[in-house]
């Protein structure tokens, strides 16, 4: 009878080695990213202004930015969020789901921040924001997140 700690026999060693070769490897990783939190009231107000006939001032561009896929007058809250996420995801490089972005490198993380700046400085966005109440924020705030043990 075998006791715990006994050296395995040749047959047992072969079985252990064979089962190790046959088992499927699992890769566990830790993913750091950003979760975007939207203020639904501000997004609704922004979309309403963006869809209006004249949200522009005399000095701003009359056309929506190239990253917006929906024409003015047909913009929806969900469509606006999707367009912003798609634009930011182009820099993310890693996983991108609903309100989560997971850049693979620090450079990609900085690319996301840079794209936030591009969105905020866009003439169309600035003109729409000028029509909103003070303190309104159409863009989401980002919160660093840590997702652990994703099995692939």
Within 8 A by CB and 6+ apart from 144, the residues are: 32, 33, 34
Write down the pTM of the prediction: 0.66
Tens of pLDDT, residue by residue over 60-92, are 556 888 899 988 888 999 999 999 888 988 888
Q: Where are the domains of the chain?
A: 39-147
Collect the ranges in the chain with pLDDT lower than 50.
58, 147-152
Quickly list DSSP for 14-58.
Answer: HHHHHHHHHSPP--EEEEEEEEEE--HHHHHHHHHHHHSS----T
In 3-state terms, what secondary structure has residue 147?
Answer: strand
* Mean model confidence pLDDT for the chain: 76
2: which 2 tokens?
């075998």
137: which 2 tokens?
């924020």
């Amino acid at each position: 009878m075998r006791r715990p700690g006994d050296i395995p026999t040749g047959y047992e060693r072969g079985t252990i080695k064979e089962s190790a070769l046959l088992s499927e490897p699992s890769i566990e990783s830790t993913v750091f990213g950003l979760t975007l939190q939207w203020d639904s009231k501000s997004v609704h107000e922004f979309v309403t202004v963006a869809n209006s006939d004249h949200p522009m001032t005399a000095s701003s561009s009359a056309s929506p930015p190239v990253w917006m896929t929906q024409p003015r007058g047909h913009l929806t809250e969900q469509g606006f969020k999707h367009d912003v996420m798609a634009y930011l995801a182009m820099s993310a490089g890693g996983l991108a789901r609903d309100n989560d972005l997971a850049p693979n490198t620090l450079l990609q993380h900085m690319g996301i921040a840079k794209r936030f700046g591009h969105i905020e400085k866009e003439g169309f966005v600035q003109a729409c924001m000028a029509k909103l109440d003070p303190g309104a924020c159409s863009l989401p705030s980002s919160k660093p997140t840590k997702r652990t043990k994703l099995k692939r």
